[in-house]
Amino acid sequence: MTTLLQKITQNHLIMSGMYKGISGLSLFVSIPILIRYLGDTDYGLWVLVFALFQWVLLMDFGLASVLKTKVPILIHENKQDLLKSYLKSTYKITAYIALFLFLLFLCLIFFIDLKAVLKIPVHSSLFVKKLFVINMFFFSLNFLFNVHKSLFVAFLKGKYAEQSIALNQILFLSSLGVLMLVAPKVASEDKLLYITLLNGIVCFLVNAAYTLFFFYREKLNLKTTEKTSKEFLREIIILGTKYMVIQVGLLVVFSSDNYILSSVFGPKDIVPYEVVNKYFQFPIMILFATLSPLWSMFAKNYIQNKKSVLLASFKRFNLLFMLMLLFIIFISAICPFVISIWIKDPVNVPDGLILYTATVTVFRVFVTFYTFFLNGIGKLNKYIILLLVSVVLKIPLSYYFIKLGFGINSVVISTLLILLIWIVYIPFECYNIVYKIKSDE
């Protein structure tokens, strides 16, 4: 029994999924608490703030993603000094980008009336700007310390990346509970500021601790006299830029919905969409966490020409997908009941929203595995073209369906149509790449 438990705890795929499950449960518990504490309108504003700065975390020119592809290669080639130099360069560049983004945002915020653009019906323009600036400060700070997550995945220790996220969610949920006890009836603006500070400070402390833990665990330091060559840096920047295009493209396709809905209906009307969307994010969160370690494993197996290993991975996932399909059908059936218990206040969920979101979830689950393979091996050009076409289609399609009267379902329907193309083309491209490998096994 002890041996079995050790095998489970040492399996990074299983533990990553478990930690992501904990993160998801903590997130689900925190949502009704936030809605009750802030109210629908202020919760909608918080969602807009948080979603915006998730974009900021991806403005790193793909450096975090490149780590997961390049580090396994450097370890395989035993280039320790180049590895240290590369990591040092990554931290320096990330720090420069964080500072640049913070200063750029400060400049932009004085020229843009966020209250008017996002149709925020409450609070002054000055308060809205202050709220965004404080969040921007913390997100820029955590932008630098988030690198540890990619480092753990790159060193094939992905469970620790998910462990840090789970701890962050648990601590935020706990601090939120304390806040409701000590400050239950303060002004709505103060509530938003308190939550901003709690979220920012907790995230910073957890990220800083796990950054130190990574270097301690791997017995790694950044002391080296070797300089990263310009050619190597140029290669990294080119690959990183591709990853950033992918990251931004994915955000437009999957995370622009809140802003589209807010621009048409206002922050309050985001709540039904946000509740259903978060509900169905649970299987996606677990899948992302479980697959995250595969990114670097795919890179390692590809450079070693392990054709049969890669095909076996594809086959195992296809079988696993059938189980996940049944699971998504089940949670779709019980969704109205769960929401009625989960969110105490009545939530008016439009007809069709659950079905559309469930279908999008099924498609995303299937295609995510294969996009991880493409990301891991760095074969990105065709994927980027497909993604750019999807970005061009996403917003016009959403507004078109809104004009037709589909309401908040419109953003989900537009995503669904785009994913119909993805689920055919992306797996086909992955199998095509693997079959061309000249196996040396």
pLDDT tens-digit map of 192-218: 888 888 988 998 999 999 999 988 888
310 within some domain: yes
**pLDDT value of residue 416:** 94
pLDDT digits (tens, 9 = 90+) for 350-397: 888 899 999 999 998 899 889 888 888 878 889 899 999 998 999 899
Q: What is the 3-state secondary structure (H, E, C) of the chain?
A: CHHHHHHHHHCHHHHHHHHHHHHHHHHHHHHHHHHHHHCHHHHHHHHHHHHHHHHHCCCCCCHHHHHHHHHHHHHHCCCHHHHHHHHHHHHHHHHHHHHHHHHHHHHHHCCCCHHHHCCCCCCCHHHHHHHHHHHHHHHHHHHHHCHHHHHHHHCCCHHHHHHHHHHHHHHHHHHHHHHHHHCCCCCHHHHHHHHHHHHHHHHHHHHHHHHHHHHHHCCCCCCCCCCCCHHHHHHHHHHHHHHHHHHHHHHHHHHCHHHHHHHHCCHHHHHHHHHHHHHHHHHHHHHHHHHHHHHHHHHHHHHCCCHHHHHHHHHHHHHHHHHHHHHHHHHHHCHHHHHHHHCCCCCCCCCCHHHHHHHHHHHHHHHHHHHHHHHHHCCCHHHHHHHHHHHHHHHHHHHHHHHCCCCCHHHHHHHHHHHHHHHHHHHHHHHHHHHCCCCCC
Write out the two tokens for 137.
């400060």
324, 380 contact by CB (below 8 A): no
How many other CB atoms are there within 10 angstroms of residue 198's CB atom?
Answer: 17
Pick from 64-73, 152-161, 424-433: least confident: 64-73
* Residue 441 scores a pLDDT above 60: no
440 belongs to a structural domain: no
pLDDT at 302: 83
Domain of residue 364: give its range: 11-435
Q: pLDDT band for position 288 (50/70/90)?
A: low
Predicted local distance difference test score (pLDDT) of residue 10: 67
Bigger pLDDT: 160 vs 255: 160
Higher pLDDT, 224 or 253: 253
Residue 267 has pLDDT above 70, yes or no: no
Q: What is the pLDDT of residues 235-251, one digit of tens each?
A: 777 777 787 788 778 87
Q: Does residue 2 form part of some domain?
A: no
Does the structure show a pLDDT above 70 at 292?
A: no
The answer to whether residue 273 scores a pLDDT higher than 70 is yes
pLDDT tens profile 325-335: 998 999 899 98
> What value does the mean pLDDT of the chain take?
82
Domain membership of residue 5 (yes or no) is no
Question: Largest Cα–Cα distance in the chain?
Answer: 68
What's the sign of the alpha-carbon dihedral 243, 248, 249, 250?
A: positive
Rounded Cα distance between 248 and 250, Å, is 5
Average pLDDT of 415-433? 93
pLDDT score for 7: 64
In a domain, 441, yes or no: no
Across 15-29, 45-59, 120-134, 226-240, least confident range = 45-59
Asked, for residue 111, whether it belongs to a domain, the answer is: yes
65-85 per-position pLDDT tens digit: 777 777 777 877 777 888 888
Does any domain span residue 6? no
Number of domains in the chain: 1
Is there a domain that residue 25 lies in? yes
pLDDT tens digit sequence for 297-326: 787 788 888 888 889 988 988 998 898 899
> Contact 41/122 with Cβ under 8 angstroms?
yes
